[in-house]
Structure 1
Amino acid sequence: MEVQLTPGICTRINNPSISTVDVLKRRPVVQILRAVQVRRNSAVPDLEDYWNIVISDGEHWIQGFLGKELSCMAENATITRFVVIAIQRAYRNLERSLFIVQELEVIEYLDHRIGTPQVLRIGNNVSLTPSVPATPSSPASQPLPPRTPQISPPSSTMKTWRIADLNQYTNNWQIKARVIQKTPLLSWSNGTRSGVRFNVVFKDASKEIRAVSFEASVHQQLEENKIYLISDARIDLAKWGNAKYEMQLSRQTKIKECPDSVDVPAVVNVYTPLQDLNTAETNAACGNSTFSAFCSPLIGLEDVIAVLIDLGPIEAKTTRYGENVMRSLVLVDETMNQTTLTLWGPKAKEFDCETGAVISVRRAIVSRYQGVLSLSANSDTTTEIDPSIPDAQRLRRWYRSLQDTGDFEVLSQLSISAREPPTLLIQDVIRLEVDEGSRKSFTIRAIATRIMSDRLMYPGCPSCRKKVIVDDGKWVCSNSECKENISEPRY
């Protein structure tokens, strides 16, 4: 019996009164009549190729696209002409004539078309015709559904989008946002290539978005606390942090400075007092970063401002990523608490400041080790020495009034460390001196480099824990030569 397609699904996809959830809730079954790779305009080399598809419900056919995550299925011929699929997840935007299949299940491979589908028309227009001009990568070798003239959208001023409304499938967009943070240019190398990169954070009235760029010319166009119109940037899934998307700025990205505007919020410096770091909530997004590999459990990201009272030397450290250098700064604030800020790599080498200066740190990583809280900096963290803001002036006056008589308290979480065993490094565990017959509890965070599946565990004697073997249906201990009906697993 031939597989049954979901009748009328093409019409439902084009019905604005039916939500995308309702369209997909029964996993509609359709047939793909064509899958062609389309190449973007060669004048914009940073834009990626995509796949145009024609789907049919047996009565009508419409055009759509495959999401980036499904491109490999088309490239390795998992998605071919006449294949029957069930759509599990899709993105639909009728105003922009977009229907993008993001997740699917292959039902059956056929060698013929089901039914006699006709192009679906709404009024005088062809429904869901791709609005992106493109050129197929190779001529189609099989007959295609009948072609109809494509109608170009009317020319108009580009719409300004809210950052919160951006996604990977948004076309012809621009945002109006303020630069609230920009990192210096950092060098990178992967063995075969090298270059520079930097991060920048834009903010409008709806949200913030992080952007990355590998172009020094783009770095020169942007200044902190200024407003810009940004367009022709690529939107990707965020690789770090709790945001869903991030942008990549290229040479083709259009950047235009705008006058200050009331609809774009100004930069407001909101710093967390050091004593309030004790109550910082766990930031789950931090666990996805490369810093989660270290022993210190991550708590979150915070902006702090404090006085530098001690500056450690530059030290060489070996991490899982290779050789690196670090430098420790001891900071205090008006709460009479002190904490350590660790700088890594170029930040550690380039930091030059005298004690007594006020340091502003934005997006510092808060971590805890053996109950003691500390801060560390990554590529997104920015530091500013003696900023010209009221908070810095107030801290400077406060520190001068102490006249070196301040007795600062080490910032800690005693309530937590009292309940939890200490977190130790492997080298600390090896050096532990534990009396015979006594026990010591501790927590360790480490990476398993090898698991031996054949010797992960062995059956042991319940009394002496030695290995036992099976003999005549019973477990025999080689040490005591006793036979038992049971054994205990030993690891």
Structure 2
Amino acid sequence: MADSPLHTGCIKTIYETTIDNKLPPNPIVQVLNIKPIIQNPAAQQAQQAQQAQLTRIRLILSDGVSFMNAMLGSQLNDLVTEKKIVPFSIVRLVKYISNRIGNRSSSLAQRSMSDLSANIFPIKSLNPYQNKWTIKARVTQKSNIRHWSNPRGEGKLFSVNLLDETGEIKATIFQEQVDKFYELLEEKKVYYITKAKVGMARKQFSTLTNDYELTFELGTEVTPCFDDDLPVLRYSFVQLAELGNIEKDVIVVKLTLWDRFAEMFDSPVDSVVAFKAVKVSDYNGRSLSLVPSGMVVVDPDTPEGIKLRGWYDSVGRTENFLTHSGLSANSFGSGTDFISNVRKTLSQVKEEGLGMGEKDFFTTKATVIFFKQENFSYPACKDCKKKVIDEGNGWRCEKCQRTWPAPDHRYIMSLNVSDPTGAIWMSAFEEVGEKLLGHSANEMMSLKVSFSLVRCRHASWEDVLENRINPQSDTQLIQERDEEEKFRAVFSEANFKSYIFKCRAKNETFNDTSRVRYSIISAEPVDIIKEGNELAALIEQYDKL
């Protein structure tokens, strides 16, 4: 039992003492719950303006072992209405009296914290078919408060991950319960939790493996626990070598931190760092990204962390590592060699059937000959980058449950590239799109929108000018026509430029039809000097045959 500021045992002494002058002096207790009691419910509306004077307030007080009911003197109601006393506040009773009210108070007073401990359910046993349960769990992660707004209304929520010896479970808190529990629930602290709803987990919003999750309701009870006998965090470590058939102890993989993790990260060089809830992607080869609900722990006190520290201090510090820039997704995904700089022609890509089985990666030199200009981007959420939906009064992200006044447009373009052996349609995304066009997707959409509103009812600018109603608008029409010319010019200038493309080939099925899709992972302009030297070396090798 950790040290507690509460006067343990004072509740039992108060209950058993019948003489006021024998009551414990100035006991320190905790307020578990606050409930206003209006004696005439029919007059509730009339009493709202004078609620502090007309309402009696009942408290549940705890000393960490036992708890009992208490009525607050009406002259002290301001302490509650002004939020000087809130649930789970610790208070000192300077002046009080003890009254015995039949058998009811007896039964209430005899219920103790030990009763909660005796009925603890393991997290792994929770399911929707149980009505009465209490868990004892540590808060391992707490999110920020998130707000949403849609045609159905507005609201707010936050979530916590809870851990005991048997497993983890996510709990989500909505609306009024956010104000009640956000300050109470703190990371790394232990709580008793009961009367929450158990439902099926929404896997798209959770990184935990539990099939269920909790939702706090109006009657949910959360009580701080001063025991500290639960695990602090649970990891499921994966070695870098397990990402593919690669020699261990020689790999460095790029890992990206976002938002608050990026701002708060200050781990010194040579530290051992544990990352929990990491997403693996194929961007620029194999890379890792910490999800918003993840965690970062520097120098974790785990067997794996201690073992890694010992290896690094003894031999790892002097090892030569292959950095993430030298890796390819093919290296990890299929167990073959790293993507080499030996290029394939576009005809070889097709003839060798790249992408027909598992994902394949290749390098090629090709020239952009055409961009599809109709749908070159999508409206994205500014947080998670998923597609958002236009609801008229804003753009709605279903994943983040947020509405934005305007989206963040991101490239998802289709382009045709060719070399002397053939041509292929490829897809390019945000970073590659900006490199090819030299403009952001937001800038291109701004140009497109400026002339699309006028063109939407006419086949050409000649039709626009012939059907104009107000001759004074000629200047505006000409300006909008210039915007379209600027838009088209960006694509025209990007055509017929050559790049070294690193690409992915993957077989995808849509409407029962399979086809190989080619995606550009990176694009680098052709270095003429380097290309010339490589061609000269090839010619020299050919002459030696």
Q: Give me the TM-score of the superposition, normalised by structure 2.
A: 0.35
More helix by share: 2
Q: Give me the TM-score of the superposition, normalised by structure 1.
A: 0.39
Q: Which has the larger radius of gyration?
A: 2
More strand by share: 1
